Chains A and B, each alone.
Chain A
Amino acid sequence: MALKDRVNPIERNPKERAKDFSEVSLGYTENLAIIEAKRCLQCKIPTCVKGCPVGIDIPGFIKQIANEKFQESYKILKKYNALPAICGRVCPQEVQCEGACVLNKMGKPIAIGSLERFVADWASKNNIKDEIKIEKKLNKKIAIIGAGPSGLTAASELAKSGFLVDVYETFSEPGGVLIYGIPEFRLPKSIVKKEVDFLKELGVNILLNIPVGNAIEPQELLEKYDAIFIGVGAGTPKFMNIEGTELNGVYSANEFLTRINLMKAYKFPEYDTPVKIGKNVVVIGGGNTAMDAARSALRLGANVTIIYRRSEEEMPARKAEIHHAKEEGVKFQLLTQPISYIGDKEGNLIGIKCVKMKLGQPDKSGRRKPIPIENSEFIIPTEIAIEAIGTNPNKLLLSKFEGLKLNKWGYIQTNEYGQTSIPKVFAGGDIVTGSATVILAMGAGKKAAKKIKEFLND
């Protein structure tokens, strides 16, 4: 049997899209989706499902696309995943469902992510209302702290089971990293809003602008609720802490992206929050956040370089994102490590002193360890530097939660079901694992919700 080539979703021209914040990928047309869906072998034992952290019936929803029954497909998808339009866009499918697809052996895997996105977008475009099926109303209250991917998923699962769910969020908008971290061109905010609206229809009560820990103490939550789920993420940015970190023009990726995504600084002065835009921007790091920051800076008109201390092979970012960044004109300077920032008399950044690196033997992370090359220092002139080197747990809540056991890195310790050292308190997402992906956080939210149900029904 001749295997057809994978159908790729339509993407906007890199030169054109690099100038605005509109979405990069336009997704599939109905026809393209059907052709791609028909490539699916409908395996009896679907390995793709095992690769999905939330266990979506992947062959099931793809089969319905192939049959041109998009609404049926959406129904299946939504049964497993509260946020399909988001996951279809930002999941690292290549290492999850698509990575496990048997077609990998014979060619390219099914474009599961793009198909998921297609179905979710189709449903939205055609105003398909989600069925709101709530099991028996239960007179038990659950508090969810953090309206990010893990919290929203847990909320959806628990509300569907009939619990009364209050979600507490410190920001003025729900969504967590989906709102402040992931740029509009990769995940339009309107999509996050739509998926959050569904939760509200399920009866989830979202309380905004409430910093739990300060506005409400953990003890009060413990008294008021039958169970608590903590999904506050790991939001505190790490800095390399090299000389000159205080200089004007040095940003954490979190700050740079929050200014742009949440506060819409790219529309300054129409919007009130500014962001510094230099002629040159250097982004430090090799993850998805680094790509997002670099591509955002590019859209603000800067000449952007990513510097990373290992080689491209070791970069933790998704291949597709690296590819998109390159297409748009982001330069990569690999095997390079910053050692200090250089400022002018007014305290503005003017350059980064770097050292060249070579790769040694694999280290604990399994990746080859970068080693500085002696006497290889050089300076990269730049007005803006953005550090995207990772995050730490946020202290705001955890420091006030008495009796909550943390591990040596300051993350919450849980058992495999997300239960913490306090029996009625569960946790999931980045605040347990350290920074990971949207879908893993959702998987954790789902797992914990299941356990919370069992816990409360006992």
Chain B
Amino acid sequence: MLNNIVKKEKLAYGVHLFWIENPIISKKAKPGQFVIFRIHEGGERIPLTISKTKGNMFRVIVKAVGKSTYELCKLKENDYIKDVVGPLGTPSEIKRYGRVLVIGGGVGIAAIAPIVDALINVGNKVDTILAARNKESIILEDEFKDSENLYFATNDGSKGEKLFPNQLMEKLIKEEKYDVVWAIGPALMMKACSEVAKQHNLKIFVSLNAIMVDGTGMCGGCRVRIKDTLKYTCVDGPEFDGRDVDWNSFLTRLSQYKAEEKKALENYLKIVGEPTWL
């Protein structure tokens, strides 16, 4: 078996968890790496962070935002993903730092799960912030029990503090001396956290969700300016020190296909009707 969906679970509206059978990826994946899916012949290549591995399977958590992810979320258990390539990208720099703060925002929580585990495994004391819009959007809470302290931040205050993750980060930094920070989530969240880190002269890893095609350094589409040099997110990253990222141009490039994405989703919804499966 290869690339069949062994297990699928809805975690929140439009947020779905998939366990995919693929012995190579499950054996080789390291925290911080990603895969690229092409779900059918005419499909886009969709990069997704590997969220966990177990036996012959790996896990990804997908948020439906456009046509391709809507379509992916429509797949059921025992369906196949046509092409899965990975693991791709440079793994997270896991080592003994001392005290680490890890922030996951939205589906970014899926990405930090293996990083937190790995950091704890090598002897770090890890404080974790899980942040989301509201209580219902906090995912995988159970997987962070080994954190030294587990904090929550929601936009509406329905769980934990009613703060943006960067605000909670700022607050924690004043109370505790951290050696390094990870912040993975929406680009604006990572940008805001990077600004806090910069002010406090603190190294911060962010994972850039750039638009990519091949994921192997061949198209240059995922290029990002890091301290005045062009880097390719897919091979040089996806993790970079957030203090060095040129966030404005990164955000510009993320919006590149807005019009096309909108059109594709509209067309798709015309065909399938109400996306009841989300």
Residues of A within 8 A of B (CB): 170-172, 180, 208-211, 214-216, 235-237, 239, 241, 245-248, 251-252, 254-255, 258-259, 263-264, 267-274, 276, 346-347, 394-396
Contact = CB atoms under 8 A, between A and B. Distances in A.
B83 A172 contact: yes
Interface stretch (B131-139, B178-186, B216-224): B216-224
A358 B84 CA distance: 50
Nearest to A234: B218
A214 B44 CA distance: 22
Contacts, number: 127
A262 B87 CA distance: 21
Interface in B231-255: 232, 235-236, 246, 249-250, 252-253, 255
A214 B86 CA distance: 7
B274 interface: no
Given A211-B85, A211-B86, A235-B218, A347 B44 contact: no
The DSSP consensus for interface residues of chain A is loop
A347 B252 contact: yes
Interface string B158-183: 00000000000000000000000000
10 contacts: A172-B85, A211-B86, A215-B28, A215-B87, A248-B253, A255-B220, A267-B42, A276-B256, A276-B260, A395-B217
A264 B85 contact: no
B68 interface: yes
Given A246-B249, A273-B44, A258 B256 contact: no
A171 B214 CA distance: 8
Nearest to B228: A241
> Closest 7 CB pairs between A and B?
A347-B252, A274-B260, A246-B249, A255-B219, A252-B220, A235-B218, A209-B85
Contacts of B260: 268-269, 274, 276
A279 to B, nearest CB: 15
Nearest to A267: B42
A171 B216 CA distance: 9
A241 B83 CA distance: 33
A394 B43 contact: no
B59 interface: no
The DSSP consensus for interface residues of chain B is mixed
Contacts of A272: 42-44, 67-68, 264
A269 B264 contact: yes
B223 to A, nearest CB: 7
B194 to A, nearest CB: 17
A259 B213 contact: yes
A359 B227 CA distance: 35
Contacts of B255: 248, 346-347
B219 A252 contact: yes
B24 interface: yes
A270 to B, nearest CB: 7
Nearest to A257: B219
A148 to B, nearest CB: 11
A323 to B, nearest CB: 29
Nearest to B27: A215
Nearest to A235: B218
Nearest to B268: A269
B38 A239 contact: no
A347 B257 CA distance: 12
Contacts of A172: 38, 82-83, 85
**Most chain B beta-carbon contacts within 10 A, residue among A211, A268, A269, A347:** A211
Interface in B183-219: 213-214, 216-219
B45 interface: yes
B85 A170 contact: yes
A211 B214 CA distance: 11
B263 A236 contact: no
A146 B68 CA distance: 28
Contacts of A270: 42
Given A211-B88, A273-B213, A276-B260, 14 more contacts: A209-B85, A210-B24, A215-B25, A236-B217, A239-B230, A245-B223, A252-B221, A254-B219, A259-B213, A264-B42, A276-B256, A347-B252, A395-B236, A396-B235
